[in-house]
Structure 1
């Protein structure tokens, strides 16, 4: 029974008891000295005095606490106004203490999150500034040189204009990739899912970058022969963009005379997993958690030498997540890396021969993204 008493009730109970004892004792002494002591009247007086004192003290305590706690609630917005009830916050200080502790813990987590976001914002702005500044200054330098008189020399003019054009192209890559990431994050970039053969799509990506891989004598190959089509349901252009970024990345960081291998495996009933494996430089474990951040570079000097926007892996992650799928990374530094992602597999019942010509003759108009 005692556990059900609230702290404010205990305070009013004992305080009223002390007051009643003091007043009753004083009245009893006075009546005894005057010779009019009546125990029945004294007991009734004591009971009335106790009840009156208890009510007054309790009401004043509740009013005192309520005004001040309400002021705290209003200032920090601890609870919604609908939950601010006098019988909830004025008679149980333990509940108030828990709410304040909960509020403080929430604010602590919020402050930590804001600090992380602020650090990310500063780093992101610095990276954007650097990525834009490099090609801008390059273009400006060539143009100023031409304006200073080099334009009269036909050979120099053509060479500098070509280099300035490459700088502009890099700026366009960065702006387009940033725009795509923004659309993916906000949901403005809608996916156009269709049924297509993932084997043919991978082969087309291999064909596109065969010459680029040949410069480093890197083989682009499947892990095995896939004589039958593997039909999947996704946005074909976006998945091609994912494969493009992963294959180009493997070539960029691959070792000379190396291999880039792609395998397709059944994961569960309606999923397949596509693995892109290389025997290149590999990635240190400390860099993997930040690998998909915008502009994050494992090897800053090497990445900028190779060119690109620095947004490729970030775009890959957003495209895969837009499909409600997962992307994974496994890497051994100095041995190689494996990027894999899941994709929805088309049901076998939809695998009709008459649909195959439509898939094989459809042109691919996607713009390739390099990083």
Structure 2
């Protein structure tokens, strides 16, 4: 019951209850006066009637006021206590209420705010932890090639690279490490801009079937040198026209395929792209026949700087940001990205892109 209704009923009660009580007292006292006392001692009768009137008014007003104030003051005291605790940083004080009045609604609204603050605090804690891990990972990944460069430079200064051939090898190593550092810095810059939503998207209509036809041609040429193959599969009657930023889509596909090629352990390498038309999206699956990913590590492959095989970092290289960047780009398109894998068999990375409502043919492929 609302507070307004309770106040109205309380005011009515302060009028009705005394009147009914006085009527009952009048009947009882009158019966005593006329039938017990035989109409004698009128003064006693008047005194009793007046005393009963005073007692009834005091009790009625007192009790109604007490219960009304208790139903209002108690929730307010609880809210005040919770607000003080929250201001002190304690977000564990619940103020949830099962009452349906205005104060109950206020308590539940306050409870929702408390839960959101607690959730935000948890997110902030996780963000701070991720930031610390990010700094540690950046420091490690930049220090490794830098240490190598310093070692080769010292070798040149000390005359260890005494022959032109050895000097060229040292210079090639320095150049490669510098290139790796430059690539890492570029990926960090891109990741930070995506993370802060400072990278604009230039959307256009892209036919994914034509887009991946071109991509598979280029990838096939690369894999032929390693006795591998790249395949594209989709229903020819389907519509694969989506809204996408072509440059950033290139980055997503490149990051996924480079990650697949990096962990290929089969003599016959194979990458297959499968397009599936959904009601509102187009689903892209990029499937490889690599080493696969353990189920326990699968949920973390889109985390920044996460690598599934730390022991092979030096061999596989990379910043550990590739799939994390891909995830941010796909989410920036309003799509979703996920992975499925079977160790020893291979991995599939899936992502979705929104279909264009107008399915008319366009010349832009």
TM-score past 0.5 threshold? yes
Q: How does 1:257-268 map to 2 (within 5 A)?
A: 257-268=268-279
- 1:334, distance to aligned residue in structure 2 (A): 1.0
1:350 corresponds in structure 2 to 361
Deviates more, 1:192-201 or 1:326-335: 192-201
Choose the corresponding residue for 2:229, options 213, 219, 236.
Answer: 219
Determine if the alignment matches structure 1 residue 295 to structure 2 residue 305: yes
1:247 corresponds in structure 2 to 257
Q: Show CA shifts across 1:5-45 (max 9, x none).
A: 89xx9xxxxxxxxxxxxxxxxxxxxxxxxxx9632343244
- 1:66, distance to aligned residue in structure 2 (A): 6.3
Choose the corresponding residue for 2:86, options 58, 76, 80.
Answer: 76
Structure 1 140/200 Cα, relative in aligned 2: closer, same or farther at 3 Å? Answer: farther
SS at match of 1:339: strand
- 1:216, distance to aligned residue in structure 2 (A): 3.9
Q: State the structure with bigger RCO (CA 8 A, min sep 6), 1 or 2.
A: 1
1:39 corresponds in structure 2 to 48
SS at match of 2:360: helix
- 1:289, distance to aligned residue in structure 2 (A): 0.8
TM-score by length of 2: 0.69
What residue ranges of structure 1 are gaps of 5+ in the alignment?
Answer: 10-35, 79-88, 360-371
- Distance in 2 (alpha carbons) for counterparts of 1:187 and 1:343: 19
- Distance in 1 (alpha carbons) for counterparts of 2:113 and 2:158: 65
What residue ranges of structure 2 are gaps of 5+ in the alignment?
Answer: 11-42, 89-98
Q: Show CA shifts across 1:269-321 (max 9, x none).
A: x5322221111111111111111011101112224312122111111111111
Structure 1 170/342 Cα, relative in aligned 2: closer, same or farther at 3 Å? Answer: same
Q: How many residues align?
A: 314
- 1:328, distance to aligned residue in structure 2 (A): 2.9
Deviates more, 1:127-136 or 1:100-109: 100-109
Deviates more, 1:155-164 or 1:131-140: 155-164
Q: Compute the RMSD of aligned alpha carbons.
A: 4.2
1:116 corresponds in structure 2 to 126
TM-score by length of 1: 0.68
2:323 corresponds in structure 1 to 313
Q: Show CA shifts across 1:106-133 (max 9, x none).
A: 6654554444334433333322222122
SS at match of 2:268: coil
Determine if the alignment matches structure 1 residue 144 to structure 2 residue 144: no
